[in-house]
């Protein structure tokens, strides 16, 4: 603990002492009044009246002085804690000094029985104050010593006031009281010091937690802002690349063009990772658990990642028996896709194996590769954001977010993940999901059998004469959208984003089948335009927003408004496919 912390804790301890002493002093105020009055009432018949009156008057003055010091003097806001304790100690001393004075001017001339009574009353006063004042040694000594000293002076001056057994008892009581005060003081200080230290630690932990939260918010804000600013021009690049006709390019330029497209696809993949991270942090990742065949999942993964593996001369195996699964297929596609992609990236030669089994009637998956492997001291770090092993950076063209997304998806789906790795031999990831599996009935048709043909026919019929309202303030991009949509059989409506002009345009339009809008328009935002169109026609028109903004609040906003979202960068062919799927719902 540093010097500042120690000094700070001592100041807090002193403040706690004063609060305790003040409470005890206020509580004992009634006793300081009742004690002298009761003593005077019991001894006034046998005590000289003048001495008794003098003692009571001095006691009254001291009690009033004590009350002033405790209730009034210490209420000044400019007083330090040490000064307040000093004032309180002086007030306490004044009253107990009067009890000691009573031993010198009243007790010696009392009968033996009343002397014993006075001894009882003064001892009771000490006993009552023992608890309240012992936590601060100077205060307790100022409280107890005036009584003890005067008591011993009066008792030991010949002729002796009490026989030796009582004198011995007085001495034992005084030693016991001082010793008990010391014990209680040490115990109280240790207890309160621990409480103060715990409070300091809790406050430090809270500050660190708040700092971590602020840093995480700042990180998310930075990622969202940087992502947005970079996505805008990259989106335009994707649109322009889609306008090129490869067949019209010379062979040399075609090679260069394909290299450019490959680099752009890598950037698209990086932005997708950032988007996935933002969606998971926003808690807006959709979950849909329903029955599907394992063959569907394997077909998607094989069609997606086998070509990537072949491009590196790797073999991608899938070991499975077709079974039914009741779970979130899309989440599994994303989760396993990240792990398979990770295996391919870090494997230079050999193969990657994806094995599907069941354990406790739930789906179990293992992804094993023959790659470079991971050192054991790095296994706990591989799921951290942006972490990449130094020795493998030349094998990685991403941001180091794949396994961080995997970790979040495992938490979202309550999936247990473990990893084993041998440097130079490969890595194995094991997943134990909570998705139940079941055997497919003999002769049962696959869930997707014939679906592709039917969906294609249904989409083609839906596309006929469908009107798409497009809002895009970049004319070049708007022309690209219009060209792509028109080629696919859509009727494109160019509408104003300005509210009044839009209202006038809608007066001559019978219906709109779908809305395609950029989010940040010149004078408004896409969500407001979509809501205006929906209110004008009185129906929830299917709508798609294209945006570079991946902030969690906007992800949640689009979800609440039932608006499909496409994130830049994206090619117009993907936009067309998204519209077809939306109209087919």
pLDDT of the residue at 220: 64
- The average confidence (pLDDT) of the chain is 80
CATH of domain 452-583: 3.40.50.2300
pLDDT value at position 5?
47
Terminal Cα-to-Cα distance of the chain (whole angstroms): 64
With cut-offs at 50, 70 and 90, classify the pLDDT of residue 357: very high
Q: Residue for token digits 């935002």?
A: 525
Task: Tell me how far apart the alpha carbons of residues 135 and 186 are, in angstroms, rounded to a whole number.
Answer: 8
User: What's the pLDDT at 275?
Assistant: 56
- pLDDT confidence of residue 379: 66
Are the C-beta atoms of residues 403 and 338 closer than 8 Å to each other?
yes
Checking if the pLDDT of 447 tops 50, the result is: no
Note the pLDDT of residue 122.
Answer: 82
List b or e across 524-541, with b for residues whose CB sees 16 or more CB atoms inside 10 angstroms: bbbbebbebbbeeeeeeb
Instruction: Identify whether the C-beta of residue 143 lies closer than 8 Å to the C-beta of residue 129.
Output: yes
Q: Is the pLDDT of residue 514 over 90?
A: yes
DSSP secondary structure of 110-162: S-HHHHHHHHHHHHHHHHHHHHHHTTSHHHHHHHHHHHHHHHHHHHHSSSPSS
Write down the pLDDT at residue 101.
87
Q: What percent of the chain has pLDDT over 90?
A: 15
Q: Mean pLDDT, to the nearest integer, of 118-127?
A: 81
Q: What is the 3-state secondary structure (H, E, C) of 285-311?
A: CCCCCEEEEHHHHHHHHHHHHHHHHHH
325: tokens are: 């699964």
- What confidence tier does 460 reach under pLDDT thresholds 50, 70, 90? very low
Task: Look at residue 517 in the predicted model and tell me its pLDDT.
Answer: 93
Q: Give the pLDDT confidence score for residue 408 in this predicted structure.
A: 81
Ordered strands of the 543-547 beta sheet: 491-494, 467-471, 514-518, 543-547, 564-567
Q: Each residue of 331-354: pLDDT tens digit?
A: 888 888 888 988 888 888 899 999
Q: Which of 215, 271, 281, 267 lies closest to 555 in space, CA to CA?
A: 281
* Distant-in-sequence, close-in-space partners of 5: CB < 8 Å, separation ≥ 6: 200
Instruction: Report the distance separating Cα 533 and Cα 506, nearest Å.
Output: 8
Per-residue pLDDT at 272 exceeds 80:
no
Least confident of 95-104, 158-167, 312-321: 158-167
Can the peptide bond before residue 569 be classed as cis, meaning omega within 30 degrees of 0? yes
C-alpha pair distances (Å), 130 with each of 66, 102, 179, 196: 17, 20, 11, 24
Ranking 14-28, 215-229, 504-518, 531-545 by mean pLDDT, the lowest is 215-229
Closest of 300, 542, 276 to residue 405, by C-alpha:
276
Determine the average pLDDT of the residues in 202-216: 85
Least trusted range by pLDDT, from 279-293, 516-530, 547-561: 279-293
Asked if residue 124 has pLDDT above 60, the reply is yes
**Whole-model pTM?**
0.43
Contact 565, 555 (CB under 8 A): yes
Higher-scoring residue by pLDDT: 216, 504: 504
Q: Is the pLDDT of residue 563 over 60?
A: yes
pLDDT band at 453 (very low <50, low <70, confident <90, very high): very low
Distance CA 429, CA 205 (A): 34
- Cβ atoms of residues 348 and 424 within 8 Å: no
> Residue 57 burial (CB < 10 Å; 0-12/13-18/19+)?
exposed
How many Å apart are CA 329 and CA 409, to the nearest integer? 12
Is a pLDDT exceeding 50 seen at residue 394?
A: no
> Of 68-77, 377-386, 483-492, which has the strongest mean pLDDT?
483-492
For the segment 138-159, the average pLDDT, to the nearest whole number, is 85
Where are the alpha helices (H) located in 283-412, listed in sequence order?
294-311, 329-345, 402-412
Q: Residues 54-108: pLDDT tens digits?
A: 888 998 999 899 888 888 888 766 788 888 888 888 988 988 888 888 888 888 8
Which pLDDT score is estimated for 463? 43
Q: Which runs of consecutive H residues, i.e. helices, occur in 134-246?
A: 137-156, 164-243
What is the CATH number that goes with domain 286-438? 3.30.565.10
In this structure, what are the phi and psi dihedrals at residue 524, rounded to the nearest 5 degrees? -150, -165
């Amino acid at each position: 603990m540093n010097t500042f912390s120690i000094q700070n804790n001592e100041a807090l301890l002193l403040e706690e002492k004063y609060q305790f002493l003040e409470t005890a002093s206020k509580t004992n105020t009634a006793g300081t009044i009742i004690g002298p009055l009761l003593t005077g009432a019991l001894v006034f018949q046998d005590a000289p009246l003048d001495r008794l009156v003098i003692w009571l008057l001095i006691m009254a003055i001291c009690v009033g002085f004590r009350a002033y010091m405790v209730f009034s003097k210490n209420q000044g806001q400019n007083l330090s804690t040490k000064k307040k304790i000093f004032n309180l100690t002086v007030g306490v001393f004044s009253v107990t000094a009067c009890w000691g004075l009573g031993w010198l001017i009243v007790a010696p001339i009392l009968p033996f029985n009343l002397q014993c009574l006075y001894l009882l009353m003064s001892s009771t006063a000490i006993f009552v104050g023992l608890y309240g004042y012992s936590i601060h040694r100077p205060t307790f000594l100022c409280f107890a010593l005036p009584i003890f000293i005067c008591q011993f002076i009066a008792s030991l001056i010949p002729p002796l006031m009490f026989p030796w057994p009582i004198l011995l008892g007085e001495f034992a009581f005084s030693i016991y009281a001082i010793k008990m005060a010391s014990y209680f003081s040490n115990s109280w200080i240790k207890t309160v010091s621990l409480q103060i230290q715990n409070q300091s630690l809790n406050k430090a932990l809270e500050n660190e937690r708040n700092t971590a939260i602020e840093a995480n918010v700042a990180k998310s804000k930075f990622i969202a802002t940087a992502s947005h600013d970079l996505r805008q021009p990259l989106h335009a690049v994707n649109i322009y690349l889609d306008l090129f006709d490869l067949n019209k390019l010379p062979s040399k330029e075609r090679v260069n063009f394909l290299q450019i497209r490959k680099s752009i696809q890598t950037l698209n993949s990086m932005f997708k990772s950032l988007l996935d991270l933002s969606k998971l942090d926003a808690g807006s990742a959709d979950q849909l658990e329903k029955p599907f065949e394992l063959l569907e999942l394997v077909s998607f993964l094989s069609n997606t990642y086998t070509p990537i593996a072949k491009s590196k001369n790797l073999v991608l195996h899938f070991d499975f028996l077709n079974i039914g699964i009741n779970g979130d297929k899309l989440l599994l596609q994303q989760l396993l896709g990240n792990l398979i992609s990770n295996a391919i990236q870090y494997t230079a030669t050999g193969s990657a194996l994806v094995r599907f089994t069941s354990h406790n009637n739930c789906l179990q998956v293992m992804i094993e590769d023959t790659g470079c492997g991971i050192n054991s001291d790095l296994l706990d770090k591989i799921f951290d954001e942006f972490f990449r092993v130094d020795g493998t950076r030349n094998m990685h063209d991403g941001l180091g977010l794949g396994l961080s997304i995997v970790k979040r998806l495992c938490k979202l789906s309550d999936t247990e993940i473990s990893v084993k790795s041998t440097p130079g031999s490969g890595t194995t990831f094991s997943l134990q999901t909570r998705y139940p599996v079941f055997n497919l009935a003999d002769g049962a048709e696959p869930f997707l059998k014939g679906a592709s043909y039917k969906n294609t026919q249904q989409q083609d019929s839906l596309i006929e004469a469908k009107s798409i309202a497009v809002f895009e303030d970049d004319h070049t991009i708007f022309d690209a959208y219009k060209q792509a949509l028109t080629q696919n059989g859509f009727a494109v409506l160019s509408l104003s984003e300005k509210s009044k002009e839009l209202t006038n345009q809608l007066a001559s339009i019978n219906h709109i089948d779908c809305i395609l809008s950029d989010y940040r328009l010149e004078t408004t935002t896409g969500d407001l335009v979509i809501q205006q169109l929906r209110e004008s026609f009185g129906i929830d028109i299917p709508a798609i927003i294209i945006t570079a903004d991946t902030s969690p609040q906007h992800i949640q906003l689009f979800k609440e408004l039932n608006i499909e979202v496409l994130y830049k960068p994206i090619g117009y062919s993907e936009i067309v496919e998204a519209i077809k799927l939306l109209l087919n719902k």
